[in-house]
Structure 1
Amino acid sequence: MKVWMLGSGSGGNAVLLEADGRRVLIDAGFSPRTLSARLSAIGVPPGSIEACIVTHEHIDHVRGAAAASARWGWALHASAGTITAATELASTGCHALEAGVPVLVSTFTVEAFRTPHDAACPIGVRVTSTASGAVAAVCTDLGHASDAVRTMCARADILVIESNHDEGMLRSGPYPPSVRARIASRHGHLSNRESAEFSRECVHRDLAHVVLAHLSERCNDPSLAHDVASDRLRGSGFRGTVSVASQHQVVGPFVPRGSRTAAVAQYALAL
């Protein structure tokens, strides 16, 4: 399994997963033109992608999904609530995902789980390679780590987790009080501190990468997010790497290591 962050943040989100030469996306929050450019940068033809899983209806996750599906033949998957809320998905024949019910998508077993966020029916995704057994958990846009989030992110080889804001920068930032309250709420976004504490809970022998995602460009700093996570993981037994996804460029690939694969772990920090 290989995982690339094509981009992550309020301007757009997309995660590429590959195993056995087959590929799926999680979210298509960029225009088809931008998606094509990001994929071309790593030598991936857009038409080689078999499916896209949409986590929720907010524009930074769904922007290009319907158009890309029409252009390149991607099968779309989302929760029933997301399909209803994002009306453009309904006309694509989007497949409904049910939390807790594993489905086969391309060469991956996909398990959706509910996330606490202010959307119709948002999900995180646990993806397992049917060939190697390697697991990637992708969970952004959540106000706290619920029991479902904890269960489904446990024992992942690659953890993609939101680290949206620094709490002090949010308090003194440019947003009005109502927006600051929404971001900091239990159905908003994880802070660096909350993300780091959750990442520490997820440490186990085979955890190779913690990838920090969905950073605010106004209320966070990549180096700060990286340092907070690294400091919290110190002494936990974590032997992997901490990386930071970028809004503007591709970061990766991230590959499992240890007993499930012989791939060598790498370090990546996009500034």
Structure 2
Amino acid sequence: MRVWVLGSGSAGNAVLVESGGTRILIDAGFPVRELAKRLSAIGVSGESIEGAIVTHEHDDHVRGVCAAAKKWKWAVYASAGTIAGYPLLKEICARPFVAGATLELGDLSVRTVRTPHDGTEPVAVVASSRATGARAGIIYDLGHVPASYRRVFERLDILVLESNHDEGMLRAGPYPPSVQSRIGGAYGHLSNRRAGAFARDCVHGGLAQLVLAHLSERCNDPEIALRSMRDAIAPTSFRGAMSAARQSEVCGPFTAGRNTRAVIAASQLSLEL
């Protein structure tokens, strides 16, 4: 399995997941020309993508999906609530699902799970490879972490997790109180602190890649987010790689497969010795 974050932030989000010849996009929040440019940068054509799953109807996640679906003949999947909240999805015959459903797309089995965000029926996803059993979780745009997530997102090989804002920077930042309340509220975006608390509960020795996503350009900084996460998960058995996705550039590939956990386990053993 390979995962690329084509870009992540308030100006656009898109994540490419590949396994066994199947490619799917999670969100398409960039104009189609920008999507094509970013895909080309990693040697991927739009036509080679089987379809797209839209997590929710906000513009930074759905902006380019209709034009891309028409141009490259994608199948598009979205929750019934998301389709109702973004009627243009009806024009491309987006295929509805109920949050919690599992979608079978080629070599990938994709479980959806409802997220606490101010969309109509937003979701996060866990994509599992039939070929290797590798699992990638993609979780962003949520104001808090439900207790059930620890079980849903356990034993991942790749985790793309929102770490949107530093709480102090948000309070001191340029946004009016109403916007601060929306961002930092229970149905807004996950802070560095809350992201770290969740990661501390769910990371494990077999997690190969931890990717911080949807970082605010005004109320966060990659180094601050990474340092906060390192401190939070220091007591855990995590020994994989950690990085912060950027708005302006493609990050990846982040890889996982049959041998990933064995390699990490061997490295842990060598450290202990």
What is the TM-score of this pair, normalised by structure 1?
0.94
Q: CA RMSD for the aligned pairs?
A: 1.6
- SS of the residue corresponding to residue 210 of structure 2 reads strand
Q: 1:53-103, CA deviations, whole angstroms, 9 ceiling, x for partnerless residues? A: 000000000000011000001110110000111111011111112233222
1:106 and 1:248 map into 2 onto residues whose CA distance is 30
Partner of 2:118: 118
Change (3 A) 1:113 1:31: same
Q: How far did 1:259 drift?
A: 4.8
Identical pairs, percent: 53
The answer to whether the 8 A contact 1:7-1:246 is kept is yes
- Report the Cα distance in structure 2 between the residues aligned to 1:3 and 1:148, rounded to whole angstroms: 25
User: Which whole-Å CA distance do the structure 2 matches of 1:100 and 1:216 have between them?
Assistant: 28
Q: Which residue of 1 aligns with 2:96?
A: 96
Shift of 1:197: 1.2
Q: CA deviation at 1:51?
A: 0.6
Number of equivalences: 265
Aligned to 2:128: 128
Greater Rg by CA: 2
Unaligned runs of 5+ in 1: 265-271
2:62 maps to 1:73: no
In structure 1, what is the equivalent of residue 225 of structure 2? Answer: 225
Retained in 2: the 8 A contact 1:200–1:232?
Answer: yes
CA offset at residue 106 of structure 1? Answer: 2.6
* Deviation by residue 1:9-67 (Cα, 9 ceiling, x = unmatched): 00000000111122100000000000000000000011100110000000000000011
Secondary structure of 1:186's match? coil
Q: Give secondary structure in 2 for the equivalent of 1:147.
A: coil
Provide the rounded CA distance (Å) in 2 between the counterparts of 1:259 and 1:250: 25
- After TM superposition, the score normalised by the length of structure 2 is 0.93
In the alignment, structure 1 residue 19 sits paired with structure 2 residue 15: no
Please list every run of at least 4 consecutive aligned residues from structure 1 whose deviation after the TM superposition is greater than 6 angstroms. Answer: 261-264
Q: What's 2:29 paired with? A: 29
Partner secondary structure for residue 225 of structure 1: helix
Cα distance change of structure 1 residues 130 and 258 upon mapping to structure 2, 3 Å threshold:
closer
Greater Cα offset, 242-251 or 89-98:
89-98
Determine if contact 1:164/1:220 at 8 Å carries over to the other structure. Answer: yes
